[in-house]
Amino acid sequence: MAYRKLGRDNKHRRSMLATMTKQVVMNESITTTDTRAKEVRKFVEKMITYGKKGDLVSRRKALAFLHNDTEVVNKVFNDLAKRYENREGGYTQILKVAERRGDNSLMVILRLVEENKPEEKKAKKETKKETKKEEKK
């Protein structure tokens, strides 16, 4: 199958995934189980891709999935689309935390990747090179 059922019927699963997608967009990170995070990641990345397209059709698709929550859609289209305009996918990151007490389920943090500007990366590399040269002397 193309998706995980997560022990829910279709309507409950879609609603849960939409709600978790909203939470990731608004808070920029959530703590959840590993399987849910892997499933929510698909929808978060799809919403950011819609935001990068920026056309009316994409906005309507995002509104339809996110239960007409205009605040979330505006953040995707205005803030996140600009942040990730030079990035070709891979907007989310899954960090493993621990096992949950009780059912021993793997808990993870699903968060949006911080996009560093290319100038900052170059500056960091240059400073590392300079420190290495100084250490050799």
pLDDT tens digits, 16-33: 999 999 999 999 999 999
- Residue 122 pLDDT greater than 90, yes or no: no
Q: What pLDDT score was predicted for residue 135? A: 74
- Residue 126 pLDDT greater than 80, yes or no: no
The single-letter DSSP state of residue 89 is: S
Q: What pLDDT score was predicted for residue 121? A: 57
Closest-CA residue to 43 (of 83, 91, 85):
91
Lowest-pLDDT choice from 11-25, 27-41, 104-118: 104-118
Closest-CA residue to 111 (of 29, 52, 12):
29
What values do phi and psi take at 120, rounded to 5? Answer: -65, -40
Q: At 118, is the pLDDT very low, low, confident or very high (cuts 50, 70, 90)?
A: low
Q: What pLDDT score was predicted for residue 1? A: 47
The dotted CATH code for 10-136 is 3.90.1030.10
pTM > 0.75: yes or no:
yes
User: What is the C-alpha separation between 31 and 71, in angstroms, rounded?
Assistant: 22
Alpha helices per DSSP H over the chain:
10-27, 34-53, 56-65, 70-74, 81-83, 118-136
User: What is the C-alpha separation between 77 and 63, in angstroms, rounded?
Assistant: 11
The pLDDT of 76-93, averaged and rounded, is 93
The pLDDT of 48-75, averaged and rounded, is 95
Q: At 42, is the pLDDT very low, low, confident or very high (cuts 50, 70, 90)?
A: very high
Show me where the domains of the chain are located: 10-136
What's the N-to-C CA distance of the chain in angstroms? 59
